[in-house]
Amino acid sequence: MIEGPYIAEAAALIGDPARANMLSALMDGRALTATELAHVAGVTPQTASGHLAKLKEANMLVVERQGRHRYFRLAGPEIAQAIEAISVVAQQGAPRHRPTGPRDEAMRFARTCYDHLAGQVAVAIVERFVELGYLVEGDDDFDVSDAGILALKDFGVEVESLRGQRRAFARRCLDWSERRAHIGGALGAAFLARCEAQGWLKTKAGSRSVLVTDAGRKGLSKSFGIGLPA
C-alpha cells in the first residue's frame, strides 16, 4: 500500500491530545489566537506555537495576522469533516469508563458543529421536521419538501437561494453524541444563523456550547411543535 504513510502523517497530526483539543476548539469555524489555543490545549505558548506551526504546515489551519495577534482557523470544511468522522469512530470504540461532566452535558444538549447546530436540540429539530414532512432523509443528505420550503420561508430562511452553491446543500451530518443525523451544509448554517438572529439561540464565546433562550424554547414549540427537555 502506498497511501498508508500519508494517511498516518495526517492522522498522527490529529492524534496528539494538545492538537486535537485545538482542532476541537476550532470546530465551530471561528478563529482563535495562539494564546487562546494554548489555553484550551493546556500547554505553554511555546509548545502551542510548535503545534500550530505543524498544523499550518499540513494545511489544516490557516492563519491571519492582526496586529500582534495571530488568528488560526480551520483551513476548510474537509478538516472539520475528517474530525467529525474520527469522532464517530472514537465514540463507538469506547465502551470503557467515560465520565461526563456538566460541561459535557451542555455540549450534548446543543453545540455548534463547524457552522451549524448539533446535539440533542439539532436532532430533535430534524426528527420533528421529518415527522412534519418538511424534510426527507436521504442516504447522505436531506431534501426539503414543498411544505418545508414554505415553512422555512415563514421562519425566515430562503431555501432555494441555498441550492447550487459550491458547498453541500443539506448534508446529513452524523451527531457524535446522539448517534443520529442532524442538518449540515448550507441549510444547516442558514438555519442556525436565523435562530441566532431571532434570539432563539446564543453561542457562547470560547465554547462550542449553544444556549437555548426562553424565546427559543417558546418559538420552537409554537412554530414547529418541538418540545425540549428542561
Partner DNA sequence: ATCATACTACGACCATAGCCGAAGTGTTGA
Partner DNA sequence: TCAACACTTCGGCTATGGTCGTAGTATGAT
What is the rounded distance in angstroms from the CA atom of residue 51 to the CA atom of residue 214?
41
Q: Is 72 in the site for its own copies (CB under 8 A)?
A: no
Q: What is the 3-state secondary structure (H, E, C) of 65-127?
A: EECCEEEEEECCHHHHHHHHHHHHHHHHCCCCCCCCCHHHHHHHHCEEECCEEECHHHHHHHH
x/- track of binding to its own copies for residues 177-196 (CB under 8 A): --------x-----------
User: Which DSSP helix (H) or strand (E) runs through 194?
Assistant: helix 185-198
- For DNA, the closer of residues 66 and 165 by Cβ is 66
Q: Which of 35, 53, 64, 103 binds its own copies (CB under 8 A)?
A: 103
- For its own copies, the closer of residues 20 and 132 by Cβ is 20
Beta carbons of 177 and 107 less than 8 angstroms apart: yes
Beta carbons of 155 and 147 less than 8 angstroms apart: no
- For DNA, the closer of residues 33 and 198 by Cβ is 33
Beta carbons of 186 and 193 less than 8 angstroms apart: no
What is the rounded distance in angstroms from the CA atom of residue 95 to the CA atom of residue 164?
41
User: Which DSSP helix (H) or strand (E) runs through 52?
Assistant: helix 45-57
Selection from DNA, its own copies, none that 85 binds (CB < 5 to 8 A by kind) is its own copies
Q: How far is the CB of 151 from its own copies (least distance, A)?
A: 21
Q: Which of 4, 46, 93, 94 binds DNA (CB under 7 A)?
A: 46
Of 137, 209, 196, 195, give the one whose Cα is nearest residue 171.
Answer: 137
Q: Is 12 in the site for its own copies (CB under 8 A)?
A: yes
Q: Is 130 in the site for its own copies (CB under 8 A)?
A: no
Number of residues this chain uses to bind DNA (CB under 7 A): 23
Using CB under 8 A, which of the segments 78-86, 148-156, 194-202, 218-226 binds its own copies?
A: 78-86
Q: How far is the CB of 4 from DNA (least distance, A)?
A: 11
- For its own copies, the closer of residues 89 and 147 by Cβ is 89
- For DNA, the closer of residues 61 and 192 by Cβ is 61
